Amino acid sequence: MRRFLVAGNWKMHGSSEMTADLISGVARRVLDAARLSEQKELGYDILVCPSAPYLSQAVDCSESQPISVGAQNVSQFDSGAYTGEISLSMLAELGCKYVLLGHSERRMLFNESDKEVAEKFSACLDHSLIVPILCIGETLAQRQAGQTEDVVAAQLDAVIDTVGITGFANAVIAYEPVWAIGTGETASPEQAQDVHAFIRAKLDGLSAEIAQAVRIVYGGSVKPSNADEQFAQKDIDGGLIGGASLQVSSFAGICEAVQKIIEKT
């Protein structure tokens, strides 16, 4: 059975106080919930992705806590004259375990191409210490035009063509319908499941073993009120959480929804 992942993308929010309070608060809530269950421990993974200035503090705060730390972006280059960029070796030295790649905001606001995202993914595999989380998804116009599968397939193919299917043996995919991020709109559980199933089927055509093992998380306005329905779907293995990851109550509430799903299985 695939292990659920609940990841919080803080985007350009945060402070030193928030970093300390959120990590300690979420850890306390989820551990208390686990102790009340028959399992007594977490059966899922928790990740927070703060802005770069707070990565080191987040790693320190998460030490001995059931929370990993990831970055929101990384350069495909390991060193050199790339002002403002951060390398994988730098992230690894800080203690980061994951990195988001190709988030819709990076693609749309900063013009990251499929090729550039694929190069970053490949660099993660070469480095081997940091797990890439590949973000893919369609805009509202693309969905309305019936292009969802074409867009998702093209974003996947750019990476597969670069690293092959084996590149997904130690990676996470995040399906984020762009039309459901920060808009208040949310894909129905059935809509999200359909795309997750399409992604898994596409990978299955290349490797059944990898397709069944890879975690595909949903990133589209997940909240405590809808997490249980979303995460109960067959091919949804957790969430990439935006706004709801900025408060202890909402992020911990989503984690607790996962805990309840695990208890029922």
Annotated catalytic residues are: 103, 176
Contact between 14 and 247 under an 8 Å Cβ cutoff? The reply is no
Contact between 22 and 48 under an 8 Å Cβ cutoff? The reply is yes
Instruction: Tell which residue, 23, 126, 145, 17, has the closest CA to residue 74.
Output: 126
Could you tell me the CA-to-CA distances from 190 to 140, 194, 197, 236 in Å, in that order?
A: 17, 6, 10, 11
The rounded distance, in Å, linking the Cα atoms of 160 and 118 is: 8
DSSP conformation class of 234: T
Contact between 37 and 73 under an 8 Å Cβ cutoff? The reply is no
Q: What is the bridge-based pairing of β-strands 172-175 and 131-136?
A: parallel
Number of H-type helices and E-type strands within the chain: 11, 8
